[in-house]
Amino acid sequence: MMANKLYHRENLIGGMTVEAQSIEVIQETKKKKWKKRVLITTGIIIIILLITLFFVNAYINRSLAQVDGEIDLAGLQNEVTVVTDEQGVPHISATTEHDLYMAQGYVQAQHRIFQMEMSRRQASGTLSEIVGSAAVDNDKYFRTLGLRRAAEKSYELYTDESKAVLQSFADGVNAYIEEAIEENSLPIEFTLMGSKPAEWTPLDSLTIGKYMAFDLGGHWESQAFNHYLLETFDEEKALELFPTYPKDMPTIIGEGELDIATSFEKAVIPHTFNGSNNWVVSGDKTASGMPLLADDPHLGLATPSIWIQMHLQAEEMNVSGVIFAGVPGIILGHNEDIAWGVTNTGPDVQQLYVEKRSPENDTAFLYEDSWEEANVIEEPIKVKDEETIDYDVIETRHGPIISEFAEDTGKDTVLSLRWTALDATTELEAILSINKAADWEQFETGLEKFLAPAQNFVFADKDGTIAYKANGNIPIYEDGEDALLPLAGWEAENEWKGFIPFDELPRVVNREKGYIATANNKITGDDYPYHISNVWAQPYRYERISEVLESGTNLTAEDMMAIQVDIKNLRAREFVPLFIETLSGTEHTDIEQQAIQLLEKWNYEDDVESSQALLYHHWMEEIENRLYKDIPRNMMGMFSGKGQTTDELLRTALRGDTSIWVEEEGGIEGLLGETFSKTIEKLQEEYGDSINGWRWGDYHQVQFVHPLSGINPVLAFFFNNEKPMEVGGSSVTPMAASYDKKTGMVDHGASWRFVIDSNEMQKGYHIVGPGQSGHFKSDWYDDQLEDWVYGNYHETNLKSFNGEELTLKPE
């Protein structure tokens, strides 16, 4: 027993018995085995993940555009060569136009098929088929507008030659679609959406063209907003927000007959900033002695770009520039003889009509003392994983009823839309014609068929001619004030009086002052006999461009590029000194006084390093928030002339005249003082107490967002650029960079920048932000993002180009 006790004591190790020690050894052994198993399992998982990633990567890479080697393409008549240069620009050389446009369709589809698919669905109102119920309201709106119906009407006007171009292009797109489906190499976006592209048709291309007319607007929302003002505020107060004051106030809609805010709650309103800059300078002011031309259309900024740059060459054509993905030809650019660019004219091409419905027949409306039957168009909407929705569109003599797409208004008074783009028009024929034009006369002749949207065209040719024309169907109003409000649809006197004759549209050739510039500003004086528009862009971009061109001599292409990225803010230059003077007699905190001193030293440039730019823009936003605080958010989206209206209210008050909106906020001194203090407080909270540390670039940034990136952060990681980039400029600088006021993210601006010296008409200088390709694994997906921010252009040459070569061969 003593021995057992001794044994037991001698086998105590650190207070641990043999039994405990044995258990520990067992546990340690199990741990080692467990760790080994974990390592083995982890290794297996890693191997599986690597294999999966390898195959996923290989699958994704299969949908990259093939840019070298050979491809057999059934339908081609001869071989076509496609040279893709370092910037991803396809140079397509073909013997016949049939082969050229078929190759263009195939190449566009290679780079942009998902974008093309989404564009035609958006415009046609068929997104619900692949997106589901979330897109139903969007589809209802575009079915109501009837862009595809308008495309169908337009197609009937096209010549056989133009229809052949559309069909050749569609054949090329379909050749790619068939090949990609057969080889399981469609872009990954289709897998994510659980869909495949259907056959491409000529109508798809024309419908996308109609959508661009929609995106550039026409002011129906301004008419609705003006009616809302009269319905909501005292007449005198309402009229202060009108772009112009009507002499005699029409009283078309009775009180309570129509709720504008509710009727258009789900309307899709184009961005109010959709505009552009363009200008042309005569040889008298240039270093080369020949004209310079510059163009930068301002549209939505996203990935992929709304444009695709291409170079098309056949026996009778050699043209380079950009086109909307899904459309043949080149809409903006140059050939060996001429160059051209556009901005949005912004005319009153949309008119709301008040329609009185028959109490006994929902589809009959009053016209000249009798009931007129409207057209009822069945537009069934297919919805993914749900039943098809029966949807009817009602069209009066003026156009579709658009105040009912947000469900039943419960009223007998509704609004219809008359719009030039819903007519049969022939823009593609104009494009095909001007692509081959050799001088101003041929170019202007081609413009006769460019009807909607109305655009400001600038032109230069190798013979030294510079020219401008505001072109398109612009309705004739007996009185421009009629375009401010909805008109009575039952009175024949309210019908449009036709369109401004082609030969009487605003036009300038070889202007003596040596340049012609447009920036969506007012284009005619009071002596012009026709009404164009009541709503124009604020004049600051135009004034700055004109200021530089006016003083310039020996101008070069590089000077034109510098203007396109110019960040001088003339709105701030006008108002900041007046604001400071107004505040000079009031007391301020130390930080407010410091802010005023900084503003006094500002050079009025919206530079990323500028603390003044951050302060100024937030101050102007606070002023607008205060002035319009009683207008609901859904109506503010229809306030398309807000900028110019705010400027006029401030000018009125600053010169000592009365503005009701300003007086209700404590007068100009009270408005400026309170908003200034609130702005400083907000910026302190967001950016700290040191004003010198505030930077415009910390707020104002650009990313070019992919449409699917909002679904999931993982998709955002792959589809979006790595991180937003700081960028200068704003909505009122020549470097157009309009932004979301909540986030500071730039979402509208120069979708393409183009400069050319007609002394070397074969060379053009371009930026297509963020890049040429729609495939996130492509080298050309976002390679021009930094170029867009910093203004670095690439050269594209009609006669000399190198890159990877692809041969398309007849099958």
Which residues participate in catalysis according to the annotation? 276
SS3 readout for 616-628: HHHHHHHHHHHHC
How far are the Cα atoms of 2, 6, 8, 13, 301 from residue 19, in angstroms, in the given order? 20, 16, 11, 11, 74
Which residues, other chains included, contact 293 with Cβ-Cβ below 8 Å and sequence gap of 6+? 278, 279, 280, 281, 334, 339, 340, 341, 458, 459, 460, 466, 560, 754, 755, 756, 758
Tokens at 471, concatenated:
């072109």
Query: Residues for the chain: how many in total?
Result: 811
Q: Name which of 714, 803, 715, 779 is nearest 64 in CA terms.
A: 779
Instruction: Please give the DSSP secondary-structure letter assigned to residue 656.
Output: T
Which string of DSSP letters, residue by residue, matches 415-433?
EEEEEGGGS---HHHHHHH
Q: How many CB atoms lie within 10 A of CB 188?
A: 20
- Residue 476 to residues 150, 220, 483, 495, 532, Cα–Cα distance (Å): 21, 16, 10, 9, 8
Q: Tell me how crowded residue 205 is: count the other CB atoms within 10 A of its CB.
A: 27
For residue 2, with 0-12 CB atoms within 10 Å meaning exposed, 13-18 middle and 19 or more buried, which class applies? Answer: exposed
Strand partners, 84: 90, 804
> Rounded to a whole number, what is the largest CA-CA distance in the chain?
128
Q: Which of 547, 537, 551, 568 is nearest to 734 (CA)?
A: 568
Backbone angles phi, psi at 312, to 5 degrees: -115, 130
d(CA 351, CA 372): 19
Secondary structure of residue 456 in the 3-state scheme: strand
CB-facing half-sphere around the CA of 209: CA atoms within 13 A: 34
Residue 656 vs residues 50, 559, 585, 646, 649: alpha-carbon distances, Å: 72, 41, 16, 16, 11
What burial class does residue 361 get, using C-beta atoms within 10 Å of its C-beta: 0-12 exposed, 13-18 middle, 19+ buried? exposed
Q: What is the DSSP string of 330-396?
A: -SEEEESSEEEEEEE-----EEEEEEEEETTEEEEEEETTEEEEPEEEE--B--TTSPPBP-EEEE-
740 is known to lie in a ligand binding site = no
Question: Coil, helix or strand for 125?
Answer: coil
| Alpha-carbon distances of 650 from 616, 663, 669, rounded to whole Å | 15, 11, 11
What type of residue is 366? L
Binding residue ranges: 348
Binding residues for Ca(2+): 348
